[in-house]
Structure 1
Amino acid sequence: MMNNLNIITRKAERKICRIFGKVRYLNKEVDARIVNLSTSGIALEVRSPLHASSGSRVQIVADDLGALQGIIRWSHNGRLGIQFDPNSNSRAQVSSYFRFFHRDVKPVLMR
């Protein structure tokens, strides 16, 4: 999907969630909270800076999801957008999570 700024966005439906885990890049590991999730990617907030650029390969580890492999697509103000590797097990793991564990999360604060 293209918007009027010519930015390529995620095609799969996003689900809001609150899952805590860790992001691993090279030999660094930081705590993170998954903000939204789809079968093609994930958006998360990191608690401390992760010095990785777009295109870097990372691993996300969470109890509910297991270990997911992906590539950083964007980074802004402590948030990361990660696209899952198409040849990894990540999509199957996320589909399984949605099928068996996911519960809809309502926002705490309304704008």
Structure 2
Amino acid sequence: MSNNLGMDVRKAPRSRCRIDSKVRYFKQEADGRVINISRSGLALELASKLQAAAGSPVVIENDDIGLLEGVVRWNYGGRIGIMFKPNSNSIAKVAAYFRNFHQEVRPVLRG
């Protein structure tokens, strides 16, 4: 799927979440929080900079899902978008997460 700018976009619907995670890019490691996830990828809000370019391989680790391998799609403004590598291990882990753990997170509005 592509948008009107000709860029590829995520095909699967996104679900909001908050999952503390670590992302590793070669010898760099950064703490972060998964802010949305789909069956094909996720977006992380980073606590520190990570110099990972689009197309670079990364590993995401968290307690809810375990280790996931992915490829950086974008890295901008303290957030990073990752597309899962399409292997059966990643697909099974994400499916299990949605089946057993996921709860949609709604923003809290303060008035």
TM-score by length of 1: 0.93
Residues 35-74 of structure 1 aligned to structure 2 (within 5 Å) = 35-74=35-74
Using the TM superposition, give the Cα deviation of residue 88 of structure 1 relative to its aligned residue in structure 2, in angstroms.
5.0
Q: Runs of 4 or more off by more than 6 Å in structure 1?
A: none
Deviation at 1:74, TM superposition (A): 0.6
Paired AA for residue 73 in structure 2: R
1:84 aligns with 2:84: yes
Q: Distance in 2 between matches of 1:74 and 1:56?
A: 10
Q: Deviations over 1:49-98 (max 9, x none)?
A: 10111111000000001000000011110111100111251121011000
Using a 3 Å threshold, how does the CA distance of structure 1 residues 3 and 89 change in structure 2: closer, same or farther?
same
**RMSD between aligned residues:** 1.3
Q: Give 5+ residue unaligned stretches, structure 2.
A: none
- After superposition, what is the alpha-carbon deviation per residue over 1:3-29, rounded to whole angstroms, capped at 9, x for unaligned? 211111100111100000100111121
Q: Calculate the TM-score normalised by the size of structure 2.
A: 0.93
Q: Distance in 1 between matches of 2:38 and 2:15?
A: 6
Give the letter for the 2:85 counterpart. D
Question: Across the two proteins, how many residue pairs are aligned to each other?
Answer: 110
Q: Report % sequence identity.
A: 55
